[in-house]
Amino acid sequence: MYGGGNTFEPMKATGVENEDPVKLAEFEARIERGEKIEPHDWMPQLYRKQLIRMIEQHAHSEIIGALPEGTWITRAPGFKRKLALMAKVQDEVGHAQLLYSAAETLGKPREQMLDDLVSGKSKYSNIFNYPAFTWADSCFISWLVDAGAIVNQLANARGSYGPYCRALDRICAEESFHLKYGHHCVIHLATGTEKQREMMQAAINRWWGPMMHFFGPPDKASVHSEILMRWKVKMSSNDDQRNQFLDMYVPKIWELGFTIPDPNLKKNTETGKWEYTEPDWEEFKRVINGDGPCNAERLAVRRTAEERGRWVRKALLAPKTEYVTPLA
Ligand code: COA
């Protein structure tokens, strides 16, 4: 169970008792052999539910994730940065499309997923509930949040559910461009004026806690990891992903002359693991349960987008006879 005062209502990690034991054994053997499970294959109900939960949350994170960066398109410094950021934001929304399609193969309609997002029923990544105050915040997201996403997605892309893995392969290819763009933006600030360096340092200070939260609660508190790892949906644990991110990116941040707001952060050379101050997990719980600095704003923007786009969806789905010719 997740730390004290848990407000999650997690799905139970048991729940295969009613499954046909022969089918279940064959399903697990297939996974053990490294075979992909496809939409029409037999699967335990819990596998289906867990995948819908995870892929749906991931899809929501992509469209909500487009919002903090999206607000910087009109203010990005220079035409080239505007073009690149616009393309990146468009890619993120495209990722959501791929992921909603993957989740739909498991039987949950897209409309229902979107309803569950705007009603606040579904979760999405904690990190997009923080404001992007400055251009440097947008650079932090493009470089380091996308770096974290790549660590997570490269692992998950080796998982057992075919449609999710194929979507992730494509997403990772695009994310690697985002990472290069973000790194370029940060290098520009790091080698710029004192003011630019200060702005980037302030962004690192603001985003470090949410970034540590991004990989999920510590393994000992993770509710779903055990079953997800047994069924190879999740290919590495929350703590292993966090450690991999620190291993790859802390040296790069230090190399640029920035500091990280954690005096205890260091690599233990004997274990190969990073040691750090635990981020505020109470804040994490509040944020993922709807009470972060921007949760209400993010959902309000999505609600407006849903309402404004309704006529377009209706028009696209309407039978031809319903069209009115202007001169008739
Ligand atoms: N933001 C929001 N919620 C999070 C979270 C985060 N960074 N990390 C964990 N949680 C939530 C989980 O969704 C779960 O809540 P639920 O039971 O209501 O669904 C709860 O915290 C317990 O966490 P845990 O048991 O560790 O969840 P998990 O095994 O699903 O692991 C992820 C969490 C994010 C690592 C995993 O779901 C994952 O890899 N998802 C796909 C990638 C993704 O969504 N990336 C988002 C940004 S690109």
Structural domain contains residue 37:
yes
How high is the mean pLDDT of the chain? 94
Residue 138 located in a structural domain: yes
The closest residue, in CA terms, to atom 37 on ligand 1 is 54
Cβ neighbours for 326, distance < 8 A, ≥ 6 positions apart: none
Residue 28 domain flag: no
Contact 129, 298 (CB under 8 A): yes
Strands 274-275 and 266-267 come out as antiparallel
Distance 328 CA to ligand 1 centre (A): 54
Mean predicted confidence (pLDDT) in 240-256: 98
In angstroms, what is the span from residue 54 Cα to ligand 1's centroid?
A: 7
| Domain enclosing residue 77, as ranges | 33-296
CATH code of the domain in which 104 resides: 1.20.1260.10
Which one of 60, 113, 125 would you pick to mutate in the ligand 1 pocket, going by the greatest count of ligand atoms within 8 A of its CB? Answer: 125
Tokens of 316: 């696209």
Has residue 12 been placed in a domain? no
Helix (H, G, I), strand (E, B) or coil at 218: coil
- Ligand 1 center from residue 77 Cα (angstroms): 34
Q: Which pLDDT score is estimated for 5?
A: 35
Mean pLDDT of all residues in 294-305: 97
pLDDT band at 267 (very low <50, low <70, confident <90, very high): very high
Secondary structure of residue 295 in the 3-state scheme: helix
Distance of alpha carbon 118 from the chain centroid: 17
Contact 200, 189 (CB under 8 A): yes
* pLDDT over 80 (residue 13): no
Number of domains within the chain? 1
Please indicate, yes or no, if residue 252 is contained in any of the structural domains: yes
Asked whether the beta carbons of 122 and 60 are under 8 A apart, the reply is yes
Residue 131 forms part of a structural domain = yes
Task: Give yes or no for residue 201 CB within 6 A of ligand 1.
Answer: no
The answer, yes or no, to whether residue 168 has pLDDT greater than 50, is: yes
Sign of the dihedral defined by the CA atoms of residues 223, 120, 101, 179, in that order: negative
Coil/strand/helix, residue 41: coil
For atom 9 of ligand 1, the residue with the nearest CA is 216
Probe ligand 1: pick from 224, 229, 285, max atoms within 8 Å of CB? 224
Is 314 among the domain residues?
A: no
Kindly state whether residue 301 falls inside one of the protein's structural domains.
no
Average pLDDT over residues 160-180: 97
Query: Which one, of 156, 200, 155, 148, lies nearest residue 175 by Cα?
Result: 148
